[in-house]
Structures are given as C-alpha cells and as structure tokens.
Amino acid sequence: MRPKPFAFLFVLPLVLLLAGCGGGGEDADMADGDDAATETPAAPMEPAGTASITGTISFTGTAPEPQPLRLDRECQELHDAAVNAQNVVVNDNGTLKYAFVYVKGGLGDRTFPTPTEPVVFDQTGCMYKPHVFGVQTGQPIQILNSDPLLHNIHALPEENRPFNFGMPNQGDERMQAFRTEEIMVRIKCDVHPWMGAWAGVLDHPYFSTTSDDGTFSIEGLPAGTYTIEVWHETLPAQTMEVTVADDEAATADFSFGDAS
C-alpha cells in the first residue's frame, strides 16, 4: 500500500527535531558542570601595569612544635621519615609558610581574561601539593594522582559548586574549575582524613602564596592604592593599605605570632 503524502510530511519534521536535540547524553551533562573550563579560556594575560608589591610574612614568638601526622601503613611507606601537619609551618628563617596574600580591594571595575594554563594540584605521598594555592575564576585546575593508591577529592565551597570524586589509579587526571570568587575553598580527602588543602579563588591574577622563605610577590599591577590581605589557615587575617606608582616596587611586610 502506498503511504499517504500527509503522513510523510508529519514524520519528517519530527525526525529533524529529534536529531537537533541530540537526546541529552554525557556531552550535554559535561557542558553544564564544573568538571572542566567549559568556555574557551582567553590567552594568557598581559600585565595591566608595571607596579609590584612584595613583602615578608614573619612569625614572632615561640613557633609551634611540628606535629607528626598518623599516616596509615600504605601512605607511610611512601615516605622515608615522619610527615608533619601543615596548618602552622614556621620556616627556619622565622617566616610563615602557606600564607595566602592577595589584592582584596582597589582594582575597581577592571576585568581580566581567564588564563589558559591550568593550576596543577597533585596528590603525592598521601598529601595534597600545593597545600595552599590561588586560581582565577574559570581557570582550569589539573588534578593529578601521583600515588599508587585510591584518593578522593572533596571540595567544600560555600559560593561555588562542590565536587566529590575518587581517583583510584596512579596517573589519573581530571580537570575542574571554580566560577565564583571565594576566599577560601577547603578541599579534603574522605579516604585519608589528614589530607587537606585550601584554594583562593579570585577574578584577577594578583595573589601569591608564601613558601620556604616566607616572601610573596604580586606583580603587573596598575598604579593605585590597594588593600592587601594575608589569609592563613589558623591565624587571623591581616590587611594593609599600600599605594604604588608605575614602575615602582612597594613593600608590605606582615607579622604574625603565637598570640595572634
């Protein structure tokens, strides 16, 4: 029996509509989530200015004794010595490690492109590295597992979308991104409860984390007056107003102590 013309005219638009929708699926889910930077990032940012702010974060008074972590057997076998907690680390030169320093105010309504280069966040020796880091909104975070053990990445933001997933194999990689400014985002491992890290999420590139020498450097600033804040995991935050001119390097030193 020959099909009636009106039936063909009804079925053809329906087929085209279904093909255009694509039916949802994995790709559609990825487009809505934070598993990776879903928008094409801009090229690396050219410095907005020629000014810089540098300084040292000192620790005065009696430094706390290092607190050894109680790792399980598998994790301890990845180390040749005891592993200490990272919540308060005073360097040999009397400075503070893992302090996050950033421009809190003074940039006005300036906007900055999203970097293409990811921030690398690794799990090695059953510890997160780095323990404290900064990232721009939308910038990809490349999460690695360098251990031959199961790890879990559990981000606990208040302003951003949380994520929680396992990485069972050595060499596993996954990309994530935060979309909203937040100081700070806590990250933990549900498998190894001593593992913890902090991410500072900003919509600009003017931040730094102190390392083994307790210094920080924020470069490429436009001339102006800025509020600089130092965040630390256990010590109260401190702020300072700093004015800097073009081609000038201003200094902003902070001091924390056991009574802070």
Residue 48: its pLDDT value, please? 77
CA distance 131 to 69: 15
Helix (H) / strand (E) element for 127: namely strand 127-129
Q: pLDDT for 207-234, tens place per residue?
A: 999 999 999 999 999 999 999 999 999 9
Rg (Cα) of the chain, in Å, rounded? Answer: 24
Q: What are phi and psi of 155, to 5 degrees?
A: -90, 135
Residue 80: its pLDDT value, please? 94
CA distance 117 to 122: 15
Residue 258: its pLDDT value, please? 77
| Domain assignments of the chain as residue spans, ordered by start | 30-257
DSSP 247: T
Inter-residue contact 209 to 233 (CB < 8 Å): no
Q: Domain 30-257's class?
A: mainly beta
Most confident of 13-17, 21-25, 75-79: 75-79
Is-above-0.85 flag for pTM?
A: no
Q: pLDDT for 84-97, tens place per residue?
A: 999 999 999 999 99
Q: pLDDT for 29-46, tens place per residue?
A: 333 344 444 443 444 455
